[in-house]
Amino acid sequence: MKRFLQIAGGLAVSGLALWLTLRGKNLGAIWSAVQGANYLWLAPYVGILAVIHVTRTLRWGILLEPVARVPFSRLNAVSAVGFMALMILPFRIGEFARPYLIAERPKIRVSATLSSVVVERVADGLFTALLLVLTLLAVPEGTPGLHLLRMAGLVVFTVFGALLAFLVVAYRNRALAVRFTHRVLDPLSPRIAGRASAMMDAFIHGLRLVPSRSKVAAFFLLTAGYWCLNAWGMSILARAFDLRLSLVQAFTVLGVLVVGVMIPAGPGMVGTFQAATVLGVSLFVPKEVLDTRGTAYANVLWAVQLAFTTALGLFFLFSRHIRIAQIFSAPAEVEEGLEEEEKEYVAEGDGAPPAGGSSR
């Protein structure tokens, strides 16, 4: 029933987003724009997508190095399948696929792999939100939707900044973070508070494994390269529809897209992806272009990314590194793994008190 509600809710969000994107537009004109595009630009874009995949795989490996040196072949397979799961599963439940698939207890614990993905997501959120806020400064005042997007960028930056602050506090004072979690949830449900604080303790235990300074610098360089490649690729594919997006404008569209797909939606991020792309492009092209070539670009961009990510994931799905049957159960498996590891930490004398007690 829980899974059914997630899928139904995701489809509802996707349907609403698609309706808002296509309402009042000539679908025939959009299809003509799709057919009339110059798909010679597709080749360099697919090449850039391949480089993007390698970049984010190497970046994730840096975060996992303090835990264990994972062979690139395994890291690559799990990354491909994990991002496919993120792309095609509803309500972003595919986020749990990578942490679970790469875990190899007791050598690589679930808490460490989950922590690596959370750190990765916080860094991405801060980077793209900051880019969105800065690039929107170049958009002329009075542009429709500009104020709303600036507010959204600031909200996302604030949220991810708060998450970063919490991670820093948790890293420096594990017991304080666990107590805070327990006290926030205890008025709602003591049972949930106990479970959540125990899982938070296990999560922070994994967070305490930090790469060296040189590796941290490499991580941020790869992060910058990763998002620059994304923006460059989007500007290249836009040329297929005779849309001339500068790199700064492509970064703006990318920032709006990242904020848009944070909204949990149906499989393939359908609807939210197109709506966010169209909203971003609307800042730079007239309405008559947006309603045809701009909307066609948004749909082709979505289709190419979905096809590439799915094809890459399917290619590695049957490799020896992947446990296919457990991908859909990854969220529950991650939760169970955190609970088991917390018990292990307590048995080893390394667990933080869930409510009260002094900091170590």
Tell me the pTM.
0.84
Please give the structure tokens belonging to residue 6.
């997630």
CA distances from 132 to 250, 271, 294 (A): 10, 21, 20
Average pLDDT over residues 160-165: 90
User: How far is Cα 253 from Cα 232, in angstroms, rounded to an integer?
Assistant: 11
Residue 289 pLDDT greater than 80, yes or no: yes
In the chain, DSSP assigns E strands to none
pLDDT digits (tens, 9 = 90+) for 126-136: 999 999 999 99
Question: Which DSSP category does 23 fall into?
Answer: T
User: How far is Cα 121 from Cα 116, in angstroms, rounded to an integer?
Assistant: 9
Those residues with Cβ within 8 angstroms of residue 265's Cβ, 6 or more apart along the chain or in another chain: 10, 13, 14, 17, 90, 91, 271, 272
Give the Cβ contact number of residue 194 at 10 Å.
15
On whether the CB atoms of residues 18 and 270 are closer than 8 A, the answer is yes
Angle, CA of 292, 272 and 297, to the nearest 5°: 30
Only one residue has tokens 């701009």, namely: 294
On whether the CB atoms of residues 59 and 120 are closer than 8 A, the answer is yes
pLDDT digits (tens, 9 = 90+) for 13-51: 888 888 888 888 999 999 999 999 999 999 999 999 999
Residue 360 pLDDT greater than 60, yes or no: no
pLDDT digits (tens, 9 = 90+) for 208-238: 666 778 888 999 999 999 999 999 999 999 9
